[in-house]
Chain A
């Protein structure tokens, strides 16, 4: 069974700081990788996804993530965060061909103006 670990429980940054949130997964086969965001009081929304091809994927709101197969990682990055990026971020893995989407425990990001 696949599992996902997110290294940081809570990250606090000042506006304009750079962001990197770690995500590692354990599954030996083909995976599809996702980052979801949950803003306070709102539902989960997809930030970006990786299925195949270029391992550097760009998502909405200036976020990007890099898939490093040898490290089983899919870290989320943003060069300059804004106060509006304050939210909970979930990494998720889908083992190729299954319905199961396994989420990491989430990282809470607090951006200080």
Chain B
């Protein structure tokens, strides 16, 4: 299994809603990432978890809250988002995190109304 699975594929939410994005991999990877990709732009790193510990937070607003319950799962909790947060949210994983290729999921297309 060389896949990173993200759910849901599409999400529409209001600015007062609370929702969560989920990411799962069963490749034994110990580094997991959240990226945000706006249309026609490259992915931008949001968070990195290494061995289930948050190692990088790229100055992301607190309305985005990551969680890594175990080595296979990564969540992104969303609360009080703004319309400008509408984007494709990509999860990725790599073996240990440094100098390795990333395996990307298909992403969750998020629309905030």
Contacts and interface: CB of A to CB of B under 8 A. Distances in A.
Nearest to B50: A99
A105 B106 CA distance: 19
Given A43-B106, A43-B107, A106-B40, A100 B45 contact: yes
Contact of A46 (B40, B44, B102): B102
Interface string B56-91: 100000000000000000000000000000000010
Interface residues of B, number: 24
B104 interface: yes
Interface residues of A, number: 23
Interface in A47-105: 49, 51, 90, 94, 96-101, 103-105
Interface string B1-45: 000100000000000000000000000000101000000111111
Nearest to A9: B40
